[in-house]
Structure 1
Amino acid sequence: MPKTLTMHPCEPVGIDFVDTAPYRYANSVDLAITPEQLFEVLADADAWPRWASVITHVAWTTPLPRDVGTRRTVTMRGGLIGDEEFLAWEPPTMMSFRFNEASTRTVCAFAERYDVVPTAGGCRLTWTLALDVRGASKVGMPLGRPVMNAVFRRFLTNLRRYTDERFAGA
């Protein structure tokens, strides 16, 4: 008989959590695509694992159109699953979501915000990931901060490579 996955509630934080969270990671990347093309990528469930290598699967769980309240489930390496709710969906300038539940008790609160501005060569994405944790993770988070930030910067490098390939000749 398969094991039933237990999901644990997370704090229902708002968009402002990305500015006030105990652990924040903000990084930017210049992309050679339009803001509209970037939102095409962000709306594509199959694209996420191609650039954010920690993600193995994304499933939208509410029907179109995307908007505030839209939900999806994201499965990550290591067995972490997050039930996400969008706090903002404002193509082509901004989107934000939070975890409503996670497959681990370690995550107290989690949110991300994607801010997009047009540039002469395409657009600039600033991605802010914010979280709070409990238990032993509270001790490890400060020590792991530089490594985690390097991983997140690498995801943005991967996103640039992915969008360059996806929209080549567009």
Structure 2
Amino acid sequence: MAHRLRPVGLDFIDIAPVRLVFAQEIAAPPAAVFHALNDDVPGWAEWFAAVTRARPVDDGAGRDIRLKGGGHFLETVIAAKEAEVYAYRVDETNAPGARALAEEWRLIPAGTGTRVRWTFAADGTAPFRLAVKAARAGLGRAFRDAVVTLDRRLAGQRQ
């Protein structure tokens, strides 16, 4: 791991210098989506294409995430409210220039399904902030593809 990041709380999601927000409606109910996010951490590698390995650490209080391209994150879960919100901050990473990172998955009932809203909140050096902003389209596409794949996976479990 290259360096430790500044520990941030849930409020960082709203005040971060860089905030990327994406949303997608899916058929799966909020409880099922929450279970996939919170209780099946290794499953992330099955539905989020950028994730090559995900494992819970500290009895589920944290996560160890590896991404395609070599990204590595040690995270702490900062919010886990059944069928409503799942959020985590990055404590250590090899991403150059990062100073603080957090992500929030907000689950909003939408009929019998869920509107999933993902906020990627970041702070870092000027080049890092610029790179995050430049990655908006790719992150949005990765999020939408992941959520659609998760929905298909959950549909198979409901049958």
5+ unaligned residues in a row in structure 2: which ranges? none
Q: Is the 8 Å Cα contact of residues 34 and 123 (structure 1) preserved in structure 2?
A: yes
> What does residue range 11-26 of structure 1 map to in structure 2 within 5 Å?
11-26=6-21
- Paired amino acid for 1:73: D
Gaps of 5+ in 1: 1-5
Q: Compare 113-122 and 85-94 and name the one that shifted more.
A: 113-122
Q: 1:136 to 1:115 in 2, by over 3 A?
A: closer
Q: CA contact under 8 A between 1:29 and 1:160: conserved in structure 2? A: no
TM-score (normalised: structure 2)? 0.86
Matches within 5 A, 1:41-56: 41-42=36-37, 43-56=39-52
Q: Which residue of structure 2 aligns with residue 166 of structure 1? A: 157
Secondary structure of the residue aligned to 1:129 is: strand
Instruction: Report which stretch shifted further, 129-138 or 73-82.
Output: 129-138
Distance 1:133 1:161, change over 3 A: farther
The alignment status of 1:146 with 2:137, answered yes or no, reads: yes
Q: Are 2:110 and 1:115 equivalent residues in the alignment?
A: no
The separation in 1 between residues aligned to 2:48 and 2:82, in whole angstroms, is: 20
The structure with more helix, counted as a fraction of residues: 2
Task: Tell me, yes or no, if the aligned pair for 1:30 and 1:160 is still in contact at 8 Å.
Answer: no
CA displacement 1:113-154 (0-9 Å, x = unmatched): 111122322222211111123264344343333333333333
- The AA in structure 1 aligned to 2:47 is W
1-structure distance, mates of 2:76, 2:47: 21
Whether the aligned pair in 1 keeps the contact of 2:26 and 2:147 (CA below 8 Å) is no
Report what 2:96 is aligned to: 105
Does 2:29 align with 1:34?
yes
SS of 2:6's equivalent in the other structure is coil
What is the alpha-carbon distance in structure 2 between the residues aligned to residue 135 and residue 115 of structure 1?
A: 28
User: Is the Cα contact below 8 Å between 1:31 and 1:163 reproduced in 2?
Assistant: no
Counterpart for residue 57 of structure 1 = 53
Aligned pair count? 158
The alignment's C-alpha RMSD in Å is 2.0
How much identity, in percent, do the aligned residues show?
Answer: 25
